[in-house]
């Protein structure tokens, strides 16, 4: 059995009936995005629990082999080989175990949103199309696809029709916007229900994006 990742949890004041699992970027931790929950201003009646898991620590090649929290190794910044597939798969299995744990706690899969920023988004975009449980939706923030050529043969029907929300900064120098847009187009070309929004920002989140995320979550989890 996969050992569950340690997480930061933000629970509603009532028993949760929905859950957002939000994966952070390279070198960050679950604490990084936790402070945005109040900024989303979701109604308490939605009873949404937020889970922010910590990626395991591992050596990262592009950072001189320094150990840091990372969902996978990055061996080069080349567009086609930036994400280490074996690491992405390993992290996807750990996140899948987190989803199963939420289902076991009484929250059905179709009330669970999977979200990820940058590296975390790569894992979310790898896992969701291959998952055999139907989620509520997926948020892919300032991110890209690992091995896009594999999607057509590995994607399952289960989550093809749920909403995938892509958001990216048009001044992003870490993950250039063309990489995020290519991921969005790959999912669209494979019949996934994806939408795209860009923002005047760098490799981060902005207030307008948070407002859009809030509206999207309220629609998806209504």
Are 30 and 7 spatial neighbours (Cβ–Cβ below 8 Å)?
Answer: yes
Are 26 and 119 spatial neighbours (Cβ–Cβ below 8 Å)?
Answer: yes
172 is known as an active-site residue? yes
pLDDT (tens digit, 0 to 9) for every residue of the chain, 222 residues total?
568 999 999 999 999 999 999 999 999 999 999 999 999 999 999 999 999 999 999 999 999 999 999 999 998 877 777 888 999 999 999 999 999 999 999 999 999 999 999 999 999 999 999 999 999 999 999 999 999 999 999 999 999 999 999 999 999 999 999 999 999 999 999 999 999 999 999 999 999 999 999 999 999 998
Please report the pLDDT score of residue 189 as a whole number.
96
Query: Among 201, 219, 220, which Cα is nearest to 209's?
Result: 201
Helix-strand-coil split of the chain, %, nearest 5 = 35, 20, 40
Q: Which of 10, 84, 91, 172 is catalytic?
A: 172
Please report the pLDDT score of residue 32 as a whole number.
96
User: From CA 165, how far away is CA 32, in angstroms rounded?
Assistant: 20
CA distances (Å), 61 to each of 23, 58, 66, 116, 144, in order?
21, 10, 7, 22, 19
214 is known as an active-site residue? no
**How many CB atoms are closer than 10 A to CB 210?**
15
Q: What is the pTM of this model?
A: 0.96
Q: Which of 73, 198, 203, 214 is catalytic?
A: 203
Q: Which of 118, 126, 142, 168 is catalytic?
A: 118
């Amino acid at each position: 059995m996969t050992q569950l990742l340690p997480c930061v949890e933000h629970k509603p004041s009532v028993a949760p009936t929905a859950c957002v699992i939000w994966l952070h970027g390279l070198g960050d931790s679950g604490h990084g995005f936790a402070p945005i929950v109040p900024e989303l201003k979701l109604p308490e009646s939605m009873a949404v629990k937020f889970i922010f898991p910590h990626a395991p620590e591992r050596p990262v090649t592009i950072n001189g082999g320094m150990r840091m929290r990372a969902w996978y190794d990055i061996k080069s910044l080349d567009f086609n080989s930036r994400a280490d597939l074996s690491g992405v798969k390993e992290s996807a299995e750990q996140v899948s175990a987190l989803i199963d744990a939420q289902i076991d706690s009484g929250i059905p899969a179709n009330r669970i949103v999977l979200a990820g920023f940058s590296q975390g988004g790569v894992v979310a975009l790898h896992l969701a199309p291959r998952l055999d449980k139907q989620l509520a939706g997926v948020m892919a923030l300032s991110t890209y696809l690992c091995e896009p050529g594999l999607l057509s043969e590995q994607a399952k029907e289960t989550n093809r029709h749920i909403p995938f929300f892509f958001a990216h900064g048009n001044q992003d120098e870490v993950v250039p916007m063309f990489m995020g847009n290519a991921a969005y187009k790959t999912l669209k070309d494979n019949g996934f229900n994806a939408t795209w929004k860009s923002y005047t920002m760098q490799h981060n989140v902005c207030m307008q994006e948070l407002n859009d995320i809030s509206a999207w979550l309220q629609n998806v989890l209504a």
